[in-house]
């Protein structure tokens, strides 16, 4: 991977473990709509995909009702859930090493930019990234294909010199449809089967393996 000058990182499940904040905020949103789910593990599939579509698919919501759920989710997430998060062990060292190698780093997340920037600031890794790209609160660019296309255009990046790293199929699909090579990582929230179904260029089960790949 010596040839990748530009590296795009997904956020949730790739840089941080947002399990508690996201699932508790989903639980809160559902409760406002009189749906009660006491088991947070049953809500982990919400980590990664765009929330609006996930509410529609998981609960057969209309788009209008799904937006109600998203807005309830944000009520809790922007105050509390955003900080119920932790940076994966070793991420700081990895980002520091990549920066020292002269690479340019970006975040590409379907999470709204306003939340992604605050998470990166609060957990002190924003300094490693040139720009943090996310979606808009109205749902614009929650799709990873659209988001990565926008990032490449805004930054003037050559897809052949750019690499995407993520833990869900959406990251790999977004990369491949924009001509980027992609790394799937197994320590996040996408299963091995989900990632391998998208034929990533590389797959690393652990963050230590990912780190090692960039030292060769």
Write out the E strands in 31-130. Answer: 86-87, 104-112
**CA–CA distance, 147 with 37 (Å, rounded to integer):** 31
- List own/partner pairs for 128-131 with CB under 8 A and 24 or more apart: 128/95, 128/96, 128/98, 128/99, 129/9, 129/105, 130/104, 130/105, 130/106, 130/155, 131/106, 131/107, 131/155
Catalytically annotated residue among 10, 12, 17, 167:
10
Catalytic: 10?
yes
Which residue, 79, 69, 77, 75, is CA-closest to 31?
A: 69
- CA angle (54 as vertex; 51, 57 as ends), nearest 5: 155
Between CA 31 and CA 146 the distance in angstroms is 32
Phi, psi of 165 (to 5 degrees): -125, 125
60: left (phi over 0), alpha (psi -120 to 50) or beta: left
C-beta neighbour count of 1 within 10 angstroms: 17
In angstroms, the Cα distances linking 31 to 20, 38, 76 are 16, 10, 12
Residues annotated as part of the active site:
10
């Amino acid at each position: 991977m010596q040839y990748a000058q530009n590296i795009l990182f997904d956020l949730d499940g790739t840089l941080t473990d947002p399990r508690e904040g996201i699932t508790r905020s989903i639980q809160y949103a559902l409760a406002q709509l009189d749906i009660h789910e006491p088991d947070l593990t049953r809500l982990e599939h919400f980590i990664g995909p765009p929330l609006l579509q996930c509410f529609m698919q998981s609960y057969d919501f209309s788009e209008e009702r799904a937006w109600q759920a998203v807005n309830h989710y944000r009520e809790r997430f922007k105050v509390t859930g955003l900080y119920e998060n932790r940076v994966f062990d070793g991420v700081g060292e990895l980002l520091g090493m990549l920066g020292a190698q002269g690479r340019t780093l970006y975040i590409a997340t379907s999470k709204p930019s306003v939340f992604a920037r605050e998470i990166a600031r609060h957990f002190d890794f924003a300094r490693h990234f040139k720009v943090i790209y996310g979606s808009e609160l109205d749902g614009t660019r929650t799709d990873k294909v659209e988001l990565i296309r926008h990032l490449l255009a805004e930054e003037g990046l050559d897809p052949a010199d750019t690499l995407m790293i993520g833990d869900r199929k959406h990251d790999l699909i977004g990369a491949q449809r924009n001509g980027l090579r992609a790394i799937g990582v197994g320590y996040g929230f996408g299963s091995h089967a989900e990632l391998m179904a998208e034929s990533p260029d590389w797959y690393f089960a652990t963050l230590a393996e990912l780190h090692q790949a960039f030292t060769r």
